[in-house]
Structure formats: C-alpha cells, structure tokens
Amino acid sequence: MSEKWVYAFGGGSAEGEAGMKNLLGGKGANLAEMANMKIPVPAGFTITTDVCTYYQKHGRTYPQSLAAEVQGALSKVEQVMGMRFGDPENPLLVSVRSGARRSMPGMMETVLNVGLTTRTIPGLIKKTGNPRFVYDAYRRLIMMYSDVVMEKAAGVEPEEGRGIRKQLDDMLGEVKKAKGYKTDADLSEADLKDLVARFKTRVKDVLGKEFPDDANEQLWGGVGAVFSSWNGKRAVDYRRIERIPDEWGTAVNVQAMVFGNMGDSSATGVAFTRNPATGENKFYGEWLPNAQGEDVVAGIRTPNPLNDATKNAQNENLPSLEAAMAGTYKELDAIRLNLETHFKDMQDIEFTIQEGRLWMLQCRVGKRNGPAAVRMALDMLKEGLIDDREAVKRVAPNQLDELLHPILDPKGEAKAQPIAKGLPAGPGGATGQIVFNAADAVAWTRQGKAVILVREETNPEDVDGMWAAKGILTARGGMTSHAALVARGWGKCCIVGCGALHVDSGSRTLKVGTTTLKEGDFLSLNGTKGSVYAGQIAMVDPTSDPELSNQIETFLKLADKFRKIGVRTNADTPQDAAKARAFGAQGIGLFRTEHMFYGGGENSQKALLQLRRMIVAKGEPERRAALDELFPLVKEDIKATLAAMDGLPVTIRLLDPPLHEFVPQGEAERKRLVEVAGITLADLDKRAEALHEVNPMMGHRGVRLGVTFPEISEMQVRAILESAAELTKEGRKALPEIMVPVVGMVAELDHQRAVVDRIHAEVCQKYGVQKVEFLYGTMIEIPRACLTADKIAETAEFFSFGTNDLTQMGFGFSRDDIGGFVPDYVEKKILPADPFQILDQEGIGQLVRMAIEKGRKTKPELKIGICGEHGGEPSSVAFCHRVGMNYVSCSPFRVPIARLAAAQAALEG
Ligand code: ADP
Ligand code: MG
Ligand code: MG
C-alpha cells in the first residue's frame, strides 16, 4: 500500500495523472490530467482507493495520517481558489464525489455544496449578492446529504417511497404546484428560504438527527458515505453485471464548487466529443441554464441541445448553447478537440458555466454502443488519431453482438403507427410485455418472458431490472441520463424522455393519449428511432442494412490481420453453414448429425421415423434394415453441408445423445412407429422401457453406442466418405473430419477406427479410388481423456474440446440442473461466473492445457480446437489462443465475436 493517501490537483498542475486510475479512480486521475493540461478545473484533491480498502477492512475507520493529509490538501485548494472552507466571510464550498477505476455511472454517491452552514450562509450571500442562489444551493445540500449520508450510508432502510430524498422532493413539488411554477428555477428566494427551514425539521423528524451545521462534519460525513456507497446494493449489482472486482474500491474526490445556478449566465451540461449512439464525429450534448450538477442527468427538465447537431423532436425549440453563449461554446469546442487529441478517444465530459466562466468537471472515455464503436474505430484510424492495432482494440467483442442482434422488422414497423416518440438512447429493437418495476422485470424474465421495463424516469437503482429487460422505456430523462448511459453501455434497446407517456406504476398502467396499456400488454420499441408501438412487431436480422454490414466487414478484416487462430462454426444444416461462411467462418467445427432429426421438415420427419425404428429394433438385422433406409437421408444432409463449405474442413460428429431421447411420446408418433416397425404398442413400451437409464448423461451415449452397435457408426461413416468421394469425383473439394464423441479411452477410439478403415476400403472400391481424404479424431470432453491424451493422440488426428461436457464432468455439475444452484454460487461468490458460459480457466482450463500438452507430445502436428459454447465467449477465446489451439468453433452469430476476441488476444501477445 502506498504511504501517500491524498493527491491534490488544480491551479494548472496536479500530483496525479491519467495513468493513475487504479489509485485515484477514473475521475480523479482525469481531473489531475486535465489540470496538468491547463484546462480550467476547479481545484481539489483525491483520496485514494487504498483508503477505501483500508476503510472497508478496518471497520469504517481511516489511516492515521489521513486527517492531516486532507487538511494539507484542503489548504492548497483554499489558496488556489482564494476562499476558505468554513470561513464566515469568504466560504469555500466543495463537492464530495465518488470515482472508481472504471466508471459506474450513477451507481455511487456525490454530495454538492458541502460547507454551507448557518455560519457560512450570510458570508456567501454577502459575497455573491445572490441570496436566491445560496438558498438553492443549501436546499440541494440538505437533499443530497440527508439522502446519501444520513440515510443510505447510515444503513437506514425507509419504507418503499418514503426515503428522505423522495419526501423532500415531494415537499418541493408541492410548493411548485401551489405556486404554479414550471421548473425549479422558478422558485423564489423566499420560497427556498422557507423550504430549507422545513427541510431541516423534516430531516430531524424522519432521521432523528439534526442536519449537521459544521463544515468539517459535513466533509467527513460525505467522505465516509462515498466509501460506504461502494458496498451499496446498486453498486454491488452493477459490479456483478459488469464483472468489476469488489476489491477495487472507489476513490473520493473533494473539489471546489463552481456554480451553474447563479443566474442566466450560469449553466451546467454534459457532452460527448462524438455522437455516442451513431459514432458520427459531431460534438453532442445537453445543457441547462441556471442549474446545478445533477439536473441534466436527473431528467428533471428536458435539457437544451448543445448545438444544432444535437437537436431532436423534444428539444428543437429550446436554445442551444452554441446560440445562447457563443463565446463559451467556442471555448468548450476547443477543449473538446484538445481532449480528443490528447486522450485519442471519444470523451464524455461534464462542464459548468459560472457567470460566463467555463469549468470542466469531468472527462472520461465515453460509453458507446456497438455501431458507434465500430464507426469511431474506423474513423479515428482514418483521421490518424490511432493505429490499426489500437482500432481493433476499440470494440469490445460483445459489442458486435448488438450489431447482429435483431431489430424490429421494417415491414411490420411500416404498417404500425407509433403511439409515442422518445429519445433514441439505445438502438436496436425490442418487443415484450410491459412491467413497471425492476423486481418484476427480473422475476418475469426468470419465467422466460420477454419484458419491456417502463418507468416514469431513469433510476440507477433499477440496474438489475434493466439488465433483465429486453428494452427500457422512460417518460423522462435525456440522452445523457443515467439509464441511457447504462443501457447504451450494454447495447440494450432503450428509449428515454418519452414525454407523452403517463406512467402510473401504482396502478400498473401506461396512458398515451387515448390508449391505455396494462402490465403484461405487449409493447415494441425501435431504440434507433425512438418510436414506441403498442403490440408485438416481429424482429429481424439487422445485417440487412448494407452500410452497417460494410463497416462491420471492414472492421473484422482489420481484426483478421492480427488473428492467429482459426474461427469455425457449429452448424447442423447447410443453411447455418452458409450463414456462418458469410460471417467469416473458416470451416465447421461441429456438425451434429442428430440435428437432422430435429428439423421438422419432410426429410427430417422421414429420417426421424427411421431413426426411431432403428432405436427400438430388436437385434442387428432389424436395426440394419432401419439403418439402410436412414442412410440416403443422412448422406444427402452431409453431402449438402460439405458442398456448402466447399473445401473448408467440416467436423462431423458421430451420433452422440442417448437413444431414449428419440423415443416418441405422442400417440400419433407412437402409432406411426409401431406401423413401420411392425410391432405392437405393448412391444414399443417394453423396448422403450429397456432403454430407460437412471443417468442418461453418463449412460449409453456417444462412442458407447458405436461400440455396442458398430452398424450405427458404419452407416454414418459410409455416408461421410461416400459424400466426399462423390464431391471429389464431381471436381469439388471436400474435407470431412470424423469425430467420435464421449471418448475416455484410446481403446474406444481404436475400436471405431477399425470400423472406419473397413468402410473406407469399401468406399474406395465402390468409387474406384485409392483413398478418400479425411481426418479421424475425437472430442475431448471426459476428464479421463485429458489425463490420457498422450495415448489418445496415438490414434486421433485431431482433438476438439467439448467444454460443455468437460465442465459438467469436471465439476460434477449436471448441465440440465444447474439452474437450482449455480446462480447462488455466483451470488455468494463461490464461483466468479457460470462455468458453462465462461470457461473455468483455473480448473477445467488445466485439464485443457494438460490434454494439449500431452497430445502434442505424442503428435506435434495434432490439430486442436474447441466446439463447446465457450468457443464464442471472448475471455474463453483468449484462453484458447493462449493455450495454442488451432481454432475455436461457435454458433454462426458468434463467429464475428470470436474473430475479434481472437485478434485482440493475439494483440495482447
Ligand atoms: P457521477 O459520477 O454520478 O456523474 P459526479 O461526481 O460526477 O457524479 O457529480 C454529479 C454532478 O455534480 C455532475 O454533474 C458534476 O458535474 C457535478 N459536480 C460535481 N462536483 C462539482 C463541483 N465541484 N462543482 C460543480 N458541479 C459539480
Ligand atoms: Mg459525473
Ligand atoms: Mg458432449
């Protein structure tokens, strides 16, 4: 731990800099950096994240030397700003702000105007000659401080809707209503003076304590509250979703206040150096005259547009900053360019204008959605701001997911009439059932329903519900509101500031004009346009937009330059195969033969019937008769897929699932089966009974079927080799790889190899060729296979890790039953994540590493890939790169994600 706990900034220099995010948090490090860049930043200091760690570990106490360091830093601030904290003549006020390493918008607490007391108020009034402003600042302090420090940090849990902030808000609302005011800015000095007196009484009544009237007590109360907020519910929820480690802690920034609420030449705003929703290189933001800090993000008033580029249907009649304060806007625009050139990325900034003077309060790398991320990376590369390696790193692999996610079907949308329009905060489409609170969103989603979370205003306490919902819709809030930021970060469809909505979460109804919708009714959102529709609209694949797909393609080609390992796809049909090739798949890593029986089409039905006949067959002759009928159907499917991949490798897995899975249950199917099989229903029951297993996942499946019934393998191998032989004869290329599943011992593989060799000889003879090109290999999905991989590699020409089963058997977790306990494990931090989604590198990963090492010792050229779900999960793909696999294989829609993840892994070296 470092010895120095406090870092000062301001007055044109700083003790910290942008590289110190771990210690100073993102906000503190960048405030220091801006101070070093001579950008106007109110002076302040940062208490390090180490202090947070100390505070949490030592029962909410501080290191011994902290108080003195804070005092020293505060004196510097006083010097730079020419005011004194707690001074009755010339009082300095400060903000106490949280700031973690990575931004967690709205998840933690900030208190403004700290230092206002009955001692300092008269001095500030005298100095500013603006009593209205002083009482406005004071009422804000009381609202924030009582909420953040006296209630939340003190662990007071008010009844729903009875939190102190809400109560004070309501008092304020009543005054506005009684006097017919439209906004907070209409409150007079007298109103505010009266209100603060009543606020203090209410605080005392509700929380049982006086509102502190001492500047130092306020300061330390604020510092402790920020540190405590690190362990507040919403911060913890957010960290879990974003995978931010709990140990990081937050820093606290104490900073001289500047005031945007001193009258009409004062203002506050939030902006992005480029448009975060589209990526366009245009300054983009919102501002409010005569307002302070939170007002823009809180969605209290519809914010004004920064400039023409920011105008939309909601704000086009409000004056832009560019028009209202041309000089200050120019200054801000210059800072915007300065910041982009310096940080070489899009920045999200906060600023305040105090009586015409501009101050910067924050800058950080701005969140953006997938389309914007791709566009910015390509643009910045073109502009020479970044190089190609950096451009590839600029898009998170999962952001590509959004680009490939469904949108509302334009045809369906054209026919529908929007019931309302809001701000397009998070693009893409969503359709689902309305819920009115976060808890319902979570609960309904658990039940498998698609929900749209509808709220009056954006509320950062709703994160878990926002995460669960397919889409988010709010009546209030702007493009820079907390919910908009959070949704955009996740690539979630989101519409905010939809003023026409009347949301009544009490009665769970939503009124728009004459339409009334209830909980459970369907709603569809177009988050790219901001349109809201009643009812369901079908969703479609967005890659039909040519401009977007061009950009994705250009970007992925750039990534491919760095990628070292191949990306294949898991595809079971020629259609899937074609789709995956379009996404850039370099082969099929897993073709599951059994899927041809699930298709539902005419051929599938036919095939399924014969398969069932084969399953219930008694003795080899009956089984062979069924297999003979099945053969042409299987062959047709395999040949079409090999043809679609046109010379790219296709790994075909022999029949894997336990046979009883295919036994028909419905009466009609049972009747059809007994007919073709020539048996009675009673026979069928008896034979099905015989197939019953106590633990089918570890039962008669995979290679075990081939050992007991070699004729099943024979049929499949013949279909594969004949397809390849025919395609070669037709002058095309085919590269089948025969993959045996559920192998634990090399002897199993040898046994099947003999079958393969025999069939190969027969096929060669039939087509009059020397040999048919193919590889013979195995899934590695049983721990014993990993332990004996050196032996297995004597027979296998390739390994493909089946990490779903390997995880199942390595953990002893039944894949189909994890719902009951894995969420608890994650919640209680026994597991960092669901190991079926994110490969457990520590445990299962060791099995993988060992198998690769052992396998390659026997056969250095051994081809190795992965075909479990993990093959499309970015951190797992990076692992596959590191352990030296030749390729990963994943579902078609995840191919672009895997390409990018693999490229980024290679760039990391
Ligand atoms: P968050 O991380 O939730 O954005 P911040 O610490 O950035 O919280 O503060 C909330 C709001 O208060 C922001 O709009 C910020 O610009 C404003 N603010 C914070 N400190 C000051 C200050 N010293 N003077 C004026 N406004 C401030
Ligand atoms: Mg902020
Ligand atoms: Mg398996």
> 749 falls in which pLDDT band (50, 70, 90)?
very high
> 459 falls in which pLDDT band (50, 70, 90)?
low
Ligand with minimal distance to 656 CA:
3
Cα 565 to ligand 2 centroid, rounded to whole Å = 40
> 489 falls in which pLDDT band (50, 70, 90)?
low
- pLDDT of the residue at 513: 87
Active site residues: 482, 867
Of the two residues 788 and 293, the one the predictor is more confident about is 788
Of the candidates 151, 144, 107, 162, which has an alpha carbon nearest to the alpha carbon of residue 460? 107
Atom of ligand 1 nearest to the CA of 296: 14
pLDDT tens profile 412-448? 888 889 999 888 888 789 999 999 999 999 899 988 8
Whole-angstrom distance, CA of residue 488 vs CA of residue 506: 28
Cα 806 to ligand 3 centroid, rounded to whole Å = 8
By alpha-carbon position, which residue is closest to atom 22 of ligand 1?
257
Helix (H) or strand (E) holding 133: helix 131-145
∠ CA 638-644-647, nearest 5°, is 90
- pLDDT of the residue at 55: 94
Ligand with minimal distance to 110 CA:
1
Q: Which two tokens stand for residue 805?
A: 């089963």
What count of residues does the chain have? 909
pLDDT tens profile 181-214? 988 889 999 999 999 999 999 999 999 999 999 9
Average pLDDT, the chain: 92
For residue 2, pLDDT beyond 60: no
Q: What percent of the chain has pLDDT over 90?
A: 70
By alpha-carbon position, which residue is closest to atom 17 of ligand 1?
293
pLDDT tens profile 258-271? 999 888 999 999 99
Whole-angstrom distance, CA of residue 829 vs CA of residue 841: 16
Cα 702 to ligand 3 centroid, rounded to whole Å = 8
If you average pLDDT over residues 133-152, what whole number do you get? 95
- pLDDT of the residue at 401: 75
- pLDDT of the residue at 600: 59
Strands of the sheet containing 357-365, edge to edge, are 304-305, 284-289, 267-272, 347-354, 357-365
Whole-angstrom distance, CA of residue 397 vs CA of residue 541: 18
- pLDDT of the residue at 532: 95
Atom of ligand 1 nearest to the CA of 106: 3
- pLDDT of the residue at 725: 97
HSE on the CB side for 859, CA within 13 Å?
A: 18
Task: Using most ligand atoms within 8 A of CB, pick from 46, 94, 350 the residue to mutate for ligand 1.
Answer: 350
For residue 757, pLDDT beyond 80: yes
Cα 294 to ligand 1 centroid, rounded to whole Å = 7
Q: Which two tokens stand for residue 611?
A: 């398969």
By alpha-carbon position, which residue is closest to atom 13 of ligand 1?
293
Ligand with minimal distance to 229 CA:
1
Cα 391 to ligand 1 centroid, rounded to whole Å = 31
Of the candidates 54, 75, 81, 78, which has an alpha carbon nearest to the alpha carbon of residue 66? 54
pTM: 0.81
pLDDT tens profile 871-909? 999 999 999 999 999 999 998 878 999 999 999 999 997
Rg (CA), the chain: 32
By alpha-carbon position, which residue is closest to atom 20 of ligand 1?
95
HSE on the CB side for 577, CA within 13 Å?
A: 25
- pLDDT of the residue at 300: 66
- pLDDT of the residue at 601: 64
If you average pLDDT over residues 615-627, what whole number do you get? 91
If you average pLDDT over residues 849-862, what whole number do you get? 98
- pLDDT of the residue at 809: 95
- pLDDT of the residue at 649: 97
DSSP single-letter state for residue 419: S
Residues near ligand 1 (Cβ within 6 A) = 42, 95, 97, 106, 110, 112, 255-258, 293-294, 350, 352, 361-362
3-state secondary structure 308-354: HHHCCCCCCCCCCHHHHCHHHHHHHHHHHHHHHHHHCCCEEEEEEEE
pLDDT tens profile 327-343? 999 999 999 999 999 99
Q: Please, which residues have CB within 8 angstroms of residue 1's CB and are 6 or more apart in sequence?
A: 50, 53, 54
Q: In which region does residue 466 sit, left (phi positive, over 0), alpha (psi from -120 to 50) or beta (all else)?
A: alpha
For residue 1, pLDDT beyond 70: no
